[in-house]
């Protein structure tokens, strides 16, 4: 977290002249932030033998306001980004888990995957492996959208439908959405660390669609 916080001001300082697309430059910076975090976790484990092999997941988002409002979303592991829009919930990220790979390959159905004992075995993580392999997505955003970033401590406890129900009921008040989602996960058992960040999109042009 400290590494990401130290590097994040670079995203603000990297603004390009009006009318030019910031996407390529800031995509590079977001990826670099993740790589720096990966290196920091590996370095700590190298110098503290009891922590050898430790890893973590990561999801980040950055708003590009010009030329059209877009979100850059990066993830490693099974921490997720969701977009709540017009009564729907859309998972913006892809889980990097063994079972999710099986679903994409057609070896398991989503219903089988939801009950599989190895459904949380990660194939990618911050701190594991020499080179970080992250996914970076771009999505157009509209006024009224609610962005939800969360760890698997939330998604282990709540279905997407339940996350939608809670988030949509507080879509204009992100702090209330965050608190309600965490409390619902705790009430459901809270078997893992629960991290949730919610952000409402305001002042966006009423145009565009998610690709």
The model's pLDDT over 143-174, given as tens digits with 9 standing for 90+, comes to: 999 999 999 999 999 999 999 999 999 999 99
**What's the CATH code of the domain at 124?**
3.60.40.10
**How far apart are alpha carbons 177 and 186 in whole angstroms?**
14
Asked if residue 142 belongs to a domain, the reply is yes
Residues 97-140: pLDDT tens digits? 998 888 888 888 887 887 888 877 899 999 999 999 999 999 99
- What is the tally of structural domains in the chain? 1
Cβ pair 87, 161 in contact under 8 A: no
Q: For Cα atoms 200, 76, 147, give the angle at the middle one, nearest 5 degrees.
A: 10
Asked if residue 167 belongs to a domain, the reply is yes
Asked if residue 100 belongs to a domain, the reply is yes
Asked if residue 95 belongs to a domain, the reply is yes
Of the pLDDT bands very low, low, confident and very high (cuts 50, 70, 90), residue 208 is very low
Cβ pair 150, 79 in contact under 8 A: yes
Which pLDDT value is given to residue 12? 58
Asked if residue 103 belongs to a domain, the reply is yes
Owning domain of residue 117 = 2-200
Model confidence, pTM: 0.87
Asked if residue 208 belongs to a domain, the reply is no
**Per-chain mean pLDDT for the chain:** 88
Q: What is the mean pLDDT of residues 25-41?
A: 92
Asked if residue 207 belongs to a domain, the reply is no
Angle between helices 160-169 and 174-187 in degrees, nearest 10: 140
Asked if residue 106 belongs to a domain, the reply is yes
């Amino acid at each position: 977290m400290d590494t990401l916080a130290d590097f994040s001001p670079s995203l603000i300082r990297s603004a390009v002249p009006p009318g030019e697309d910031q996407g390529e430059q800031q995509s590079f910076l977001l990826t670099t932030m993740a790589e720096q975090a990966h290196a920091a976790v590996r370095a700590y484990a190298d110098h503290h033998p009891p922590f050898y092999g430790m890893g973590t997941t990561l999801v980040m988002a950055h708003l590009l306001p010009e030329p059209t409002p877009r979100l850059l979303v990066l993830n490693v592991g099974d921490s997720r980004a969701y977009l709540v829009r017009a009564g729907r919930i859309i998972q913006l990220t892809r889980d990097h888990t063994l079972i999710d790979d099986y679903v994409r390959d057609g070896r398991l159905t989503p219903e089988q995957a939801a009950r599989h004992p190895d459904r949380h075995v990660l194939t990618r993580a911050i701190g594991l492996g020499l080179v970080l392999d992250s996914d970076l997505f771009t999505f157009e955003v509209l006024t009224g959208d609610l962005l939800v970033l969360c760890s698997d401590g939330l998604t282990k406890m709540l279905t997407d439908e339940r996350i939608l129900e809670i988030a949509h009921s507080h879509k204009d008040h992100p702090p209330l959405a965050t608190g309600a989602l965490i409390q619902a996960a705790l009430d459901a058992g809270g078997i893992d660390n629960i991290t949730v960040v919610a952000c409402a999109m305001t002042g966006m042009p009423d145009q565009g669609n998610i690709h």
